[in-house]
Amino acid sequence: MRIAINISASLISTGGEHDNFITKVSRQLIKNHPEHAFILISDKELIEKKELPENCVIVSAGSKGKNSITWKWWYAVKIPSILKKHKADILVSCDGCYSLRSSISQLVIVTDLSFISFPAFFKKSRVRFLKKNTPKVLKKSTLVIASSGFIKNELIKNYKITDDKIEVIYGGANENFKPVDDAGKFFTKEKLTDGKEYFLYSGDIHPVKNLTNLLKAFSIFKKTQQSSMKLVIAGNAAAGYTSFAEKLKDYKYRNDVVVKNNLTDNETAEIIGAAYAFINPSFYEGQGTSVLDAMDCHVPVIASSGSAMQEIAGDAALFADPENIPDLAAQMMTIYKDEALRSRLIEKGKLIPAQYKCYTSAELLWQSIENAMG
């Protein structure tokens, strides 16, 4: 079989979790099935050619551009041309969209529908394109893969898709994330926060990630606890970064906030491993791999309620309403004051990532490919 995978992520990605699903699960899928040929279609060089196995080629379809006209051209003309040239049997599209002009079987992976609930956080042209094309894509797709039960429910609620057309496949935990020993924690804290303990957010700096409310909650924490605790934001500069940076200039506790941009996986793992607690206050989260990263590092988690993170972490984390700033601050104070609770969360969290392995996710995706072909 010749399987094409659209590994482009520029339409909907608001964080590293989406890219993690694409790169980690796709790599594992290719590794698991050397008897089949894989064609990776990209709008940029996401994977270096020298790293590709023999059963795989990467094809650049060129940039999608920045407006709905160029996006439509990319999906309607460029993608079908590549599929025809490489004689693909099926297209797996990882960005929630695909070609409406191709006649081969197509399987679409949906990890994010935040443009529905939070359109103001995205460019108007992007929202218009997605609102117009997503219903058509979902209707035409042979099978739809949801990255969580949360996303599956969103699909059913917003698009009236039947349950039997959707399969849930969770993103695999990142195996690069491991506990940090005491010496490593000491070194990281000395380098990052002058030896002080810190709360950590790791992900993209984007409006949907709710970092402004995190700053407000941290202000309440600092006023109430009179603590030397710091807040570290280890993020990638995404849409809205400039606005966030401007707000940070006038923030009362600016000297207690450390921002680190565009880190490698190893650097991120070190910073997570030394954190007092990991916080993801995102308004919308269609996956939960960020909490898995923290749990793999034996770090307790505070996350948004009503998201895929709560679905995955269960009772191994604390949860707060992302729009309720006092609620978020209260959870920060709870984990700070109750060391026994913090230890229990760490112990419970150690058990969660084992349930979400890339190998398993890749095999489930393979079964979906066979179902879509079958």
Query: For 269-280, what is each residue's pLDDT tens digit?
Result: 999 999 999 999
**How far is residue 279's CA from residue 309's CA, in Å, rounded to a whole number?**
11
Q: Is 316 in contact with 351 (CB distance < 8 Å)?
A: yes
Provide the token pair at 30.
Answer: 């290719």
Spell out the alpha helix ranges (H) of the chain. 16-20, 26-32, 68-73, 79-85, 114-117, 124-140, 149-159, 182-193, 211-225, 241-249, 265-273, 289-296, 308-313, 325-337, 339-349, 358-373
Domains 2-172+357-373 and 182-355 in one fold? yes
* Average pLDDT of the residues in 351-374: 90
Angstrom distance (rounded) from CA 99 to CA 80? 7
* pLDDT grade for 17, boundaries at 50, 70 and 90: low
For domain 182-355, give its CATH number from 3.40.50.2000, 3.40.50.11540, 1.10.10.10, 2.60.40.1180: 3.40.50.2000
Query: How far is Cα 191 from Cα 317, in angstroms, rounded to an integer?
Result: 28
Report pLDDT digits (tens) over 60-119.
888 887 778 888 888 889 999 999 999 999 999 888 787 888 889 989 999 999 999 999
pLDDT cut 70: percent of the chain above it:
94
Residue 205, Cβ neighbours under 10 Å: how many? Answer: 23
Contacts of 165 (CB under 8 A, 6+ apart): 141, 143, 144
Q: Of the spans 96-105, 168-177, 208-217, which averages the highest pLDDT?
A: 208-217
Structural domain boundaries in the chain: 2-172+357-373, 182-355
Please, which residues bridge with residue 4 across strands? 39, 91
- 211 alpha-carbon distance from chain centroid: 16
How many of the other CB atoms lie within 10 Å of CB of 60?
A: 14
pLDDT tens readout for residues 221-272: 999 999 999 999 998 877 677 888 888 998 999 999 999 988 888 899 999 9
For 369, residues 6+ apart whose C-beta sits below 8 A from its C-beta are 3, 90, 92, 107
State the pLDDT confidence band at 330, using cuts at 50, 70 and 90.
Answer: very high
Is the Cβ–Cβ distance between 334 and 369 less than 8 Å? Answer: no
Closest residue by Cα to residue 6 from 95, 73, 81: 95
Helices (H) and strands (E) in the chain, counts: 16, 13
User: At which residue do the structure tokens 């924490």 appear?
Assistant: 221
DSSP state of 147: S
pLDDT band of residue 15 (cuts 50, 70, 90) is very low
**Closest by CA position to 236, among listed 201, 287, 270:** 201
Structure-token pair, residue 59? 């094809």
Instruction: Evaluate whether 288 touches 274 at the Cβ level (below 8 Å).
Output: no
Query: At residue 34, does pLDDT exceed 60?
Result: yes
- Asked whether 49 and 33 are in contact (CB, 8 A), the reply is no
- 140's CB contacts (< 8 A; 6+ apart) are 100, 106
> In the predicted model, what is the mean pLDDT of residues 328-350?
97
Give residue 51's pLDDT: 65
Q: d(Cα 255, Cα 238) in Å, to the nearest integer? A: 23
For the chain, give the longest Cα–Cα distance. 64
If you classify domain 2-172+357-373 with CATH, what class do you get? alpha beta
- State the Cα–Cα distance between residues 99 and 79, nearest whole angstrom: 7
Residue with the bigger pLDDT between 51 and 12: it is 51
Handedness of CA 305, 311, 315, 316 (dihedral sign): negative
Facing residues of 109 across strands? 145
> Cα(300)–Cα(291) distance, rounded to whole angstroms?
9
